[in-house]
């Protein structure tokens, strides 16, 4: 990251040049922070794109914030393909990344390759994301990258492993786990990943990893020292309010806004003040 006195000006929203894995690398090199958010449908994808968001992730968080599930582990590949195809159809500039859901890439590299291929071919996303950084995951990343599909890694709190962790608390607070995350980040870079999400790890560790890597590290709950930031759109819009971790800055209270609008509508229908003559044919 560039020191604060030497920061580049904010990205120009009128710059509609396509974001690619290469342009993300150049953004890191010149110290321009990368903005990323999640989307699950055409309308949201198109709005994020108009706003100048650099990376749009069709996250498996769809399971929680759209499908109402307790965790991300239940979402299927077919459901991810559906949401990813809606988003990519609405986006022109941002790089669109599709999450590979739990058990679509862990069995073996052949199956992972087939499923990554389906994600790109059937939904139109430009890259895939998968969680973890052990030897077999890195081999899988290598195979997927080899055929020409860019891969984003994801370390730290990896929600697909929630049943192993047992909690969504901050990860890598022990020296041993911090060392492992650093090692996994380097291994993912060596395997050909174009970027890595660092979720809910101490800010100092995330800063150190970001500085050590050539590829961008995009943080969520990982402090300001990362090369970019990502949030779940439904969290930052105040649409999903079941949890409010401290790293979620609420930019709107859309849940409350929508509730108010729905209540006003119900009231208007009940009192026959909707529709009026002007709203009729």
Query: Binding to ligand KIV by residue 191, rule CB under 6 A?
Result: no
Using the minimum distance from each CB to ligand KIV, give the nearer residue, 33 or 59: 59
Tokens (6 digits) for 68: 């109402």
Query: Binding to ligand KIV by residue 230, rule CB under 6 A?
Result: yes
Nearest distance in Å: CB 165, ligand KIV? 15
Contacts of 220 (CB under 8 A, 6+ apart): 197, 198, 199, 200, 229, 230, 231, 232, 247
Q: Measured between alpha carbons, how far is 272 from 281 in angstroms, rounded to an integer?
A: 16
Count CB-CB contacts under 10 A for residue 144.
28
- The question of whether 199 is a catalytic residue gets the answer yes
Nearest distance in Å: CB 129, ligand KIV? 7
Virtual CA dihedral for 142, 144, 148, 153, nearest 10 degrees?
A: -80
Using the minimum distance from each CB to ligand KIV, give the nearer residue, 16 or 19: 19
Query: Binding to ligand KIV by residue 132, rule CB under 6 A?
Result: no
Query: Binding to ligand KIV by residue 227, rule CB under 6 A?
Result: no
DSSP code of residue 60: T
Site string for ligand KIV, 24-53 (x = CB under 6 A): --------------x---------------
Query: Binding to ligand KIV by residue 94, rule CB under 6 A?
Result: no
**Closest by CA position to 210, among listed 194, 198, 200:** 198
Using the minimum distance from each CB to ligand KIV, give the nearer residue, 59 or 133: 59
Q: Is the dihedral of CA 87, 93, 98, 99 positive or negative?
A: negative
Using the minimum distance from each CB to ligand KIV, give the nearer residue, 54 or 99: 99
Q: Measured between alpha carbons, how far is 271 from 154 in angstroms, rounded to an integer?
A: 52
Asked if 221 contacts 230 with a C-beta cutoff of 8 angstroms, the reply is no
Q: Measured between alpha carbons, how far is 112 from 118 in angstroms, rounded to an integer?
A: 10
Query: Binding to ligand KIV by residue 61, rule CB under 6 A?
Result: yes
Tokens (6 digits) for 61: 């968080």
Query: Binding to ligand KIV by residue 188, rule CB under 6 A?
Result: no
Query: Binding to ligand KIV by residue 84, rule CB under 6 A?
Result: no
Site string for ligand KIV, 237-276 (x = CB under 6 A): ----------------------------------------
Catalytic residue among 32, 126, 131, 199: 199
CA distances from 181 to 50, 193, 225, 241, 277 (A): 35, 15, 16, 29, 64
Query: Binding to ligand KIV by residue 197, rule CB under 6 A?
Result: yes
Question: Annotated active-site positions, please?
Answer: 199
Binding positions for ligand KIV, rule: CB under 6 A: 38, 57, 59-61, 99, 154, 197, 220, 230, 232
């Amino acid at each position: 990251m560039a020191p604060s006195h030497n920061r580049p000006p904010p990205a120009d929203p009128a710059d509609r040049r396509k974001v690619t894995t290469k342009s993300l690398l150049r953004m890191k090199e010149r110290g321009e922070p990368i903005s990323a958010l999640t989307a699950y449908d055409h309308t949201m994808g198109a709005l994020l794109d108009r706003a100048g968001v650099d990376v749009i992730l069709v996250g498996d968080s769809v399971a929680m914030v759209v499908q109402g599930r307790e965790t991300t582990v239940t979402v299927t590949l077919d459901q991810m393909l559906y949401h990813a195809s809606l988003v990519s159809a609405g986006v022109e500039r941002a790089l669109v990344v599709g999450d590979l859901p739990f058990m679509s890439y862990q069995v073996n590299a052949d199956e992972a390759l087939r499923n990554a291929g389906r994600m790109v071919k059937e939904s139109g996303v430009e890259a895939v994301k998968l969680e973890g950084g052990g030897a077999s995951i890195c081999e899988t990343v290598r195979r997927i990258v080899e055929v020409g599909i860019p891969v984003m890694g994801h370390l730290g709190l990896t929600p697909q492993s929630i049943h192993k962790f047992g909690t969504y608390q901050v990860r890598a607070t022990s020296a041993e786990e911090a060392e492992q995350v650093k090692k996994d980040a380097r291994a993912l870079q060596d395997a050909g990943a174009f970027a890595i999400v660092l979720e809910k790890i101490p800010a100092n560790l995330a800063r150190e990893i970001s500085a050590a890597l050539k590829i961008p590290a995009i943080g969520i709950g990982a402090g300001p020292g990362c090369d970019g930031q990502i949030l779940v759109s439904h969290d930052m819009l105040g649409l999903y309010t079941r949890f409010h971790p401290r790293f979620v800055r609420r930019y709107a209270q859309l849940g409350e806004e929508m509730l108010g609008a729905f209540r006003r509508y119900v009231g208007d229908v009940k009192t026959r003040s909707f529709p009026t003559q002007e709203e009729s044919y």
